Amino acid sequence: MRQINEAHVAAPGLAVVDVAAADDETAFAVQELLAARCAIAPADRTTREPDEPGVRLRFFLDLRQDPGT
């Protein structure tokens, strides 16, 4: 999984969101819910860790902006 660098959390209102879910559909549903409330840099695929259940999805969130910007 990608590292979190200083730019991702350089100011108040910026966040990195890691979702752990049973399946892709659930992980992307969480991303869509947050995208309706704030600006995000969406992920386009999940990752799977060998010998671990479920999937993970990481995306970046900006609470300072409206979703349409």
**Residue 44: closest CA among 35, 5, 67, 36:** 35
Domain hosting residue 43, numbered range: 15-62
If one counts the domains in the chain, the total is 1
Per the model's pLDDT, the better-predicted residue between 40 and 68 turns out to be 40
In a domain, 45, yes or no: yes
Q: Is the pLDDT of residue 5 over 80?
A: no
In a domain, 1, yes or no: no
- Residue 45: count other Cβ atoms within 10 Å of its Cβ: 9
pLDDT for res 45: 96
Task: For residue range 7-54, list pLDDT tens digits in order.
Answer: 556 689 899 999 999 999 999 999 999 999 999 999 999 999 999 999
Q: How far is CA 30 from the centre of its chain?
A: 8
pLDDT for res 1: 52
pLDDT for res 11: 84
In a domain, 28, yes or no: yes
Cα–Cα distance, 8 to 60 (Å, whole number): 7
In a domain, 2, yes or no: no
What percent helix, strand, coil does the chain show, rounded to 5? 25, 30, 50
